[in-house]
Structure 1
Amino acid sequence: MPDVTLKSPNLDDVFEKWKQKTLRTSKKKLEKEFGTKGAVFSLDNISAAETVKETEKEAAIYFEIKKTVAPAKGKEQKERMRADKVEKETFFTFKGKSVNKDNWKGDDVVPIYETIETVPCTKCGGKGYQEEKCKTCKGSGKIEDQILVLEGEEQKKEKKPFSYPCPYCYGSGKAKEQCSECGGFKNFYEYEVLPVPYKTVVEGKPVLFSSAKTKYEKEIGEDLQKLIEEVQGIKFTDPKTLDKKAEASLGYYNKNIKKMLKNAIGEYKDYDKDDDTKITTPMYLFPVIQMFCETKRGKSFEIYSIGSDQKFITYSNF
């Protein structure tokens, strides 16, 4: 690709275009800031030489993407846990409604409340305990003992058998031990972890980077999406080529432009790797002029132009 240099607009042309645009949109404010009391207001009395105090040459990168937001991708899975663990989990419910991904804060796959199911413990059969032979009475349900009996006048000693219900198993011969598997909760609880139901949306989106410190990047990006044919820039299909030829194409360069190029190319590459995103236009490089101005009344404001001397548009915070 041969080197192509864009010529920036003449400063007087940028200023004149701003005056005409502002006359249509903010005539009263223009008269207030630049008019002379007792004199008929005229645009001819507003000159770039008196108004523009400083000028910077900057640059902008623009391209468009088409982003497809589809339902979240993620492996559906089931979780199984005890009741005391379930209460510590956070569940979600969507009630059949889709979610705007841009507004969603959280994981792409989440536990769903409606999927909670009770599953009896297989080890204890859902009883919460296991019955085993009582260790005290060895399963007989009775405690076998002997008592001393003195017989007759001679008080002959004799031991007689004596049995009574085992107090540890309540005479049943069986002891109930807490189930080691379910911890006595009888059941386990299963639930599904499912993808968030994102809305399927396909949208075109402008992406703009500017080396000028401006609050108008979003507005400029939206305008360029509609007016791209009315603004002249240089097209680049390869970020590497843009990085190498930006200075030659603009005819100037500075640290702000260098930083802007790095950020723009980095984000371009990220979009290129994103399965949900398709880059739909080349990268456009535009000259940007930033004018720092002051009215007769001392009000500071800025004027921006984006594009070449052949086709450019203006913005201002006047």
Structure 2
Amino acid sequence: MSRSKRRKLIAPLPVRDGVSASHLWLGEGNWVNMLAFMAARFPAVTEADWAARMERGEVVDLQGEPLRPHSPYRRGTCIFYYRELAQETPIPFAEKILYQDEHILVADKPHFLPVIPTGRFVRETLLVRLKHKTGLHELTPIHRLDRETAGVVLFSHNRATRGIYQSMFQKRAMDKVYEALAPTRPELAFPLTRRSRMVDGEPFICMMEAEGEPNSETHIDVLENRGAVSLYRLRPVTGRKHQLRLHMAALGMPIVNDAFYPVALPCKGDDVSRPLQLLAREIAFTDPLTGRLRRFASERTLEVAT
């Protein structure tokens, strides 16, 4: 089936506690039945758990027909199921809805909360929390922030107008302003612009700068000198992964509490005591539907723990 058709799939399972059903297309394989496949495909879930979910009708095909443990494995079938984690670490910080109309919702995300379900987080994500809170099952983020970054995130909850808002990011028609706490560099002349070529680094989750034509650009200025650290305003022109964090580190002023740059530190696990001091402070754009200027600002602050 074509990729465009797959995007239009309507899940036969309802949204449950803010969690939408995931889907998977079955490829080549010689599994004796669906239980054997599910247990092998998702080893973090026990075979007994999958059997119980399937008996409850929580694994279905595109037509909504339940797939039981003994159901045959058929290549080309699209299956739907709920992602569930046996244990999920609670994120002890709350999001806030800044604005909502019939098309969009704007939220103020706390540090450590992922925007969408990923890895070991499903319910403890901004998207699922907001779906559960608002009942808006069509809610979709127009852009993303790293889990470690706090601040403004724009969502669409109207399928008919979603593409119009998504095109703003594709056309870079949105003004994004970030703030960060980082070491004071009195020898540098501000404002300044950092341009560089960013490529995949090591470990794979990190980025690095390399020789070649720049593919990233950030405008940086000082908002406030606080002694050993200063509050900086960052305006990204491009939107590369970890762009702001890498550019600040490359200038000799890594963002406070950055566990990746300039050197990747051991995983902090569930430690939420030292949030990355990076905030998506503001988003501004001309609304493509009304022509009005929209400006949304985070109500959060950055500070260094003493």
TM-score, length-normalised on structure 2? 0.16
Tell me: higher relative CO, structure 1 or 2? Use CA pairs within 8 A at least 6 residues apart: 1
Structure having the higher helix fraction is 1
TM-score by length of 1: 0.15
| Larger CA Rg, structure 1 vs 2 | 1
More strand by share: 1
